[in-house]
Amino acid sequence: MDTKILIIGACGQIGTELTQKLRQIYGVDNVIASDIRKLNIDVVNDGIFEVVNALDYNQIEHLIEKYQITDVYLMAALLSATAEKNPAFAWDLNMNSLFHVLNLAKAGKIKKIYWPSSIAVFGPTTPRDNTPQYTIMEPSTVYGISKQTGERWCEYYHTQYGVDVRSIRYPGLISWSTPPGGGTTDYAVDIYHKAITEGEFTSFLSENSGLPMMYMDDAIKATIGIMQAPAEQIKIRSSYNLSAMSFTPKEIAAEIKKHFPDFAIDYAPDFRQKIADSWPASIDDSRAREDWGWQNDYNIENMTVEMIAKLKEHIY
Ligand code: AKB
């Protein structure tokens, strides 16, 4: 059977770029984009788009039958900062959308699921540096609790029902083309915009607050890479640690200064500082590298060169 893909949450930060890449690989008609509302953006206008509520099992089931979907990428979620402001809805959305697709796979209606996890599954008691794949996990955010619980359910559905679900623990993601949506790592996107437009930036995290980060091209490569790998290579069915680079606000500012020598940064930490303090500073992703051949292409230097060039070319 040919691959037919449904992306739920196609208009979000990862969803937009993922949809475009999947359409290039599998063909426009084989990749159905969906989201809670129809925006006037390329992923909506350039192919098949359906409005869907990720909390509505029947709507998802209807789309799966209508388009004979084989693979679902469930990208709809509330991220860490937004989730703290609306815990009940975050829990509802992040958990029940996952149950819907897991149950659709269990019922034999789809073949494969991609579900994103996050470094937020770790917490203040986790070793912060080079955080191992298997370690203490006591997340202290609503988002982290939902992602960690989701991971346990993914593994359970795989073990008990043979569901082919695959997952990555994303670090902070940085993209020139799509704005981030309510995360703690969002400053690392905003800083590039402000460097170009204003020459200065106020960081909501303190200067030495180190976090794992990744350029969006690498995140898309990893997402498609884990989905295309032979099933037997996916030995971890909770979620894989994934890493590319780690930096602090001070370090990324220094990198940007290489391109804009007058760039200035100051620091005004807010409620997101506490979230960042509970997360790892760097990640050991050796299992992803060993099991399914993960390799990053971007580090802080070449990402910064590309971010500035693309923002200048396409946005400013
Ligand atoms: C967030 O900051 O909430 C996300 C994440 C690390 O999962 N970018």
Domains of the chain from N-terminus onward: 5-171+215-241 (3.40.50.720), 174-212+245-315 (3.90.25.10)
For the purposes of burial, counting CB atoms within 10 Å of the CB of 36, is it exposed (0-12), middle (13-18) or buried (19 or more)? middle
The residues annotated as belonging to the active site are: 143
pLDDT in tens, 94-142: 999 999 999 999 999 999 999 999 999 999 999 999 999 999 999 999 9
Cβ(80) to ligand 1 under 6 A?
Answer: yes
Strand 117-118 versus strand 200-203 pairing type: unpaired
* Three-point CA angle 101, 106, 108, nearest 5°: 100
Q: Contact at 8 Å (CB) between 73 and 114?
A: yes
The phi, psi pair for 168, rounded to 5°, reads -130, 140
The pLDDT assigned to 179 comes to 84
Cβ(12) to ligand 1 under 6 A?
Answer: no
Handedness of CA 82, 88, 89, 93 (dihedral sign): positive
Q: Which atom of ligand 1 is found nearest the CA of 185?
A: 2
ipTM: 0.97
Strand 164-166 versus strand 112-114 pairing type: parallel
Look at residue 85 and give its three-state secondary structure: helix
Residue 192 pLDDT grade (very low, low, confident, very high; cuts 50, 70, 90): very high
pLDDT in tens, 20-40: 999 999 999 999 999 999 988
Q: Which two tokens stand for residue 77?
A: 């979620």
pTM above 0.95, yes or no: yes
pLDDT in tens, 237-257: 999 999 999 999 999 999 999
Q: In whole angstroms, give the CA distance from residue 193 to residue 216.
A: 16
pLDDT in tens, 59-75: 999 999 999 999 999 99
180 pLDDT more than 90: no
Q: In whole angstroms, give the CA distance from residue 70 to residue 241.
A: 26
- Find the helix or strand (DSSP H, E) in which 225 lies: helix 216-228
Instruction: Give distance in angstroms: CA of 183 to centre of ligand 1.
Output: 5
Q: In whole angstroms, give the CA distance from residue 235 to residue 286.
A: 13
Cβ(116) to ligand 1 under 6 A?
Answer: no
58 pLDDT more than 70: yes
Question: Residues 223-239: what's their mean pLDDT?
Answer: 98
Cβ(120) to ligand 1 under 6 A?
Answer: yes
Q: Count of CB atoms within 10 A of residue 262's CB?
A: 8
Q: Count of CB atoms within 10 A of residue 73's CB?
A: 27
Residue 184 pLDDT grade (very low, low, confident, very high; cuts 50, 70, 90): very high
Residue 35 pairs in a beta bridge with: 51
Q: Which two tokens stand for residue 276?
A: 């960042």
Instruction: Give distance in angstroms: CA of 166 to centre of ligand 1.
Output: 19
The pLDDT assigned to 1 comes to 65
Which residue out of 117, 141, 173 has the highest number of ligand 1 atoms within 8 Å of its CB and is therefore the one to mutate?
173
Cβ(172) to ligand 1 under 6 A?
Answer: yes
Nearest to 27 by CA among 10, 47, 8, 50: 47
Q: Whose CA is nearest to atom 1 of ligand 1?
A: 183
Instruction: Give distance in angstroms: CA of 109 to centre of ligand 1.
Output: 30
Nearest to 52 by CA among 119, 121, 104: 104
pLDDT in tens, 201-214: 999 999 999 999 99
The pLDDT assigned to 316 comes to 87
Q: Contact at 8 Å (CB) between 74 and 115?
A: yes
Q: Which atom of ligand 1 is found nearest the CA of 182?
A: 3
Contacts (Cβ under 8 Å, ≥6 apart) of 82: 90, 181, 182
Cβ(150) to ligand 1 under 6 A?
Answer: no
The pLDDT assigned to 181 comes to 80
Q: Count of CB atoms within 10 A of residue 301's CB?
A: 11
Q: Residue 141's Cα: distance from chain center in Å?
A: 17
Instruction: Give distance in angstroms: CA of 230 to centre of ligand 1.
Output: 28
Q: Which two tokens stand for residue 158?
A: 């795989």
